[in-house]
Chains A and B, each alone.
Chain A
């Protein structure tokens, strides 16, 4: 059994039976180089200082915590606090990881970065870092996603990145990752794959988690300093799982704090059109790691569905698979409609427009907050802002036109 007070010490390559490196041999040297570079950087106070300075003066950290009592009233007699990652430069938590990995790319002397993106937030963050550090940047994005997130495509191009629409497979995030991996296999000498979530082969799940763990580290201190208690529950949406693990990690060894992850149930968890990997998937290997995934009996990946491009992914990070199996975290499905209603609710009760991805966590709080004792407290990672989603939202609620 895992020691329940030492969950934070898990650094891969395996989390329980999950993780590993199920990739072509061609990538092993690059993964080893990345791992070694990261270990050196972690031990280098100058690296920590440079990252802290960029987080402060470029990203805008620490992000604030906002209590939202009118929204909380929708979820019963509880208090809800938002960790405002939407206020970061570029509008989501994704920048935390990107700045860190761009610094690692610089240390490795790699002048070109490639990235995959679903909603476009990671692509925008990567293009931003590339502009800041003077790196060439290519972003792979499923053709379907380039259409539903057209504004983010324009942002990436404005920042100087090349956006390549991916037309193979389901033309979404899964296929964008395949294409990025193919590029990396071919150009690994001078290219860093700036993976945007806590999935993929080791050391990515660990590195991406560590760069996002600042979310939980700040939150934990802010809750204790500003409010004098730890929240009873943490809530976050889960696609690949980066914003959730970023919030959860600092609290893993606080047994009083429950961890709730909300996956995209699309048109319903019992329909074929969802992206609820942890709730409905089976263990397998996808994109280099062993974890839960949506697949058929032959091991072919099944296409996921979600109204939110950022959660539309049939895999999930290995650390989440492990946290689920050891019952440290609980994962639930939230439908497209629940998420859209929650997005509108937060906008109209508190004047904060969240991303559709993030709205899954808000909907989860409305649904599951009602099961908590009166006076319970929930800290929710408001992982991104909704500007990029205005076209989808406008169509959904009929807000467009005269």
Chain B
């Protein structure tokens, strides 16, 4: 019953590539982030990943760090997340997942966060520093509210852990393409294929999207040839920084169309 899964499966059945796009809430301001996210969805992003700015983003490279620092410096507060999310989900049908490090959610209250996320039209959560082993509260409330929950699968994960991530993920499994943090890389690691095939081999039918280091249309096309979607973040922030919404939407549509 995951809208995210429906969207990804539908694209797959039509043999079309799927693009998951990341953008931070509140960057550079709340209004501008809403406009940027809506424009991304309208220009080709199939699933939106709305980032929560956090003081210690250890999974993120410099581009995202600087953008989220700027959002915080411009006054973004956690309570602003849900109105921001609602404005986006009111404007577009695209499923929107929130990507957040765990401490802000813990401080807000896991159950309260989940309910407010649901009420704002959010599809679910991507949790980069929460492994299923530590996620008891989140597993429970996300089941109750039927929210997507995206765990990571990485090249260093054992087959047992890949299977566990896959069976507990809903929406999609976030396959980490290479050992590293977010940020564009020229050569996408071949390890991504192994992670995806490991997840598939576990018998899971949850879609698998590949992220980290994707920055070209060719990479998006390549990833979509063996996975269910490509996740792009840093590149979109760079585009926005360079040329605002116009360059951002151009970047989205060129990645989506493979040109």
A347 contacts partner chain B, Cβ-Cβ < 8 Å: no
Contact A301 B55 (CB under 8 A): yes
Q: Digit string of A178-208 for contact with B (CB within 8 Å is 1, else 0)?
A: 1001100111110000000000000000000
Q: Which residues of B contact A298 (CB under 8 A)?
A: 77-78, 104, 107-108
B158 contacts partner chain A, Cβ-Cβ < 8 Å: yes
Scan residues 95-127 of chain B and give those whose CB is less than 8 A from a CB of chain A.
102-108
Contact B58 A178 (CB under 8 A): yes
Contact A297 B55 (CB under 8 A): no
Pull 9 A–B residue pairs with CB atoms less than 8 Å apart, ordered by A.
A24-B129, A24-B154, A25-B131, A178-B58, A182-B181, A295-B107, A298-B107, A301-B55, A301-B56
B45 contacts partner chain A, Cβ-Cβ < 8 Å: no
Q: In whole Å, how far is A176's beta carbon from the nearest beta carbon of chain B?
A: 12
B72 contacts partner chain A, Cβ-Cβ < 8 Å: yes
B74 contacts partner chain A, Cβ-Cβ < 8 Å: no
Contact B157 A299 (CB under 8 A): no
Scan residues 303-321 of chain A and give those whose CB is less than 8 A from a CB of chain B.
none
With A24-B129, A26-B179, A28-B161 known to touch, is A182 a contact of B56 (CB < 8 Å)?
no
Stretch at the interface among A258-266, A279-287, A331-339: A279-287
Chain B residue with Cβ nearest A25: B152
* Complex Cα–Cα for A28 and B130 (A): 11
Contact A189 B179 (CB under 8 A): yes
Q: In whole Å, how far is B183's beta carbon from the nearest beta carbon of chain A?
A: 10
* Complex Cα–Cα for A187 and B156 (A): 11
Q: In whole Å, how far is B4's beta carbon from the nearest beta carbon of chain A?
A: 20
Contact A284 B103 (CB under 8 A): yes
Q: Which residues of A contact B54 (CB under 8 A)?
A: 299-300
* Complex Cα–Cα for A25 and B176 (A): 9
With A168-B65, A298-B78 known to touch, is A286 a contact of B102 (CB < 8 Å)?
no
A22 contacts partner chain B, Cβ-Cβ < 8 Å: yes
Q: In whole Å, how far is A402's beta carbon from the nearest beta carbon of chain B?
A: 44
Contact A25 B134 (CB under 8 A): no
Scan residues 147-196 of chain A and give those whose CB is less than 8 A from a CB of chain B.
168-169, 174, 178, 181-182, 185-189
B255 contacts partner chain A, Cβ-Cβ < 8 Å: no
Contact A186 B180 (CB under 8 A): yes
Scan residues 275-297 of chain A and give those whose CB is less than 8 A from a CB of chain B.
282, 284-288, 295, 297
Q: Which residues of B contact A282 (CB under 8 A)?
A: 107
With A25-B153, A26-B154, A285-B103 known to touch, is A186 a contact of B181 (CB < 8 Å)?
yes
Tell which of B55, B102, B165 touches A22, judged by Cβ atoms closer than 8 Å.
B102
Q: Which residues of A contact B83 (CB under 8 A)?
A: none
Tell which of A30, A181, A297, A300 touches B58, judged by Cβ atoms closer than 8 Å.
A181
Q: Digit string of B170-212 for contact with A (CB within 8 Å is 1, else 0)?
A: 0000001001110000000000000000000000000000000
Tell which of A21, A284, A301 touches B133, judged by Cβ atoms closer than 8 Å.
A21
* Complex Cα–Cα for A185 and B54 (A): 18
Scan residues 126-164 of chain B and give those whose CB is less than 8 A from a CB of chain A.
128-131, 133-134, 151-154, 156-158, 161
Q: Number of B residues whose C-beta is below 8 Å from A?
A: 39
A20 contacts partner chain B, Cβ-Cβ < 8 Å: yes
With A28-B156, A169-B55 known to touch, is A300 a contact of B104 (CB < 8 Å)?
yes
Q: In whole Å, how far is B56's beta carbon from the nearest beta carbon of chain A?
A: 5
B59 contacts partner chain A, Cβ-Cβ < 8 Å: yes
Contact B180 A25 (CB under 8 A): no
A374 contacts partner chain B, Cβ-Cβ < 8 Å: no
Q: Which residues of A contact B181 (CB under 8 A)?
A: 182, 185-186
Most central of B58, B77, B102, B154 by chain A CB within 10 Å: B58
* Complex Cα–Cα for A155 and B127 (A): 40
Chain B residue with Cβ nearest A33: B156
9 new A-B pairs (CB below 8 Å) besides A25-B176, A282-B107?
A: A21-B131, A22-B131, A25-B153, A25-B154, A26-B176, A169-B56, A284-B107, A285-B106, A300-B55
Contact A297 B107 (CB under 8 A): yes
Scan residues 40-86 of chain B and give those whose CB is less than 8 A from a CB of chain A.
54-59, 61-62, 65, 69, 72, 77-78
Q: In whole Å, how far is B85's beta carbon from the nearest beta carbon of chain A?
A: 16
Contact B55 A188 (CB under 8 A): no
With A169-B55, A185-B59, A284-B106 known to touch, is A25 a contact of B151 (CB < 8 Å)?
yes
Tell which of B57, B103, B128, B179 touches A286, judged by Cβ atoms closer than 8 Å.
B103
* Complex Cα–Cα for A265 and B154 (A): 41
* Complex Cα–Cα for A362 and B104 (A): 36
Chain B residue with Cβ nearest A293: B103
Q: Which residues of B contact A300 (CB under 8 A)?
A: 54-55, 72, 104
Q: Which residues of A contact B151 (CB under 8 A)?
A: 25
Q: Which residues of B contact A29 (CB under 8 A)?
A: 154, 156-158
Contact A285 B179 (CB under 8 A): no
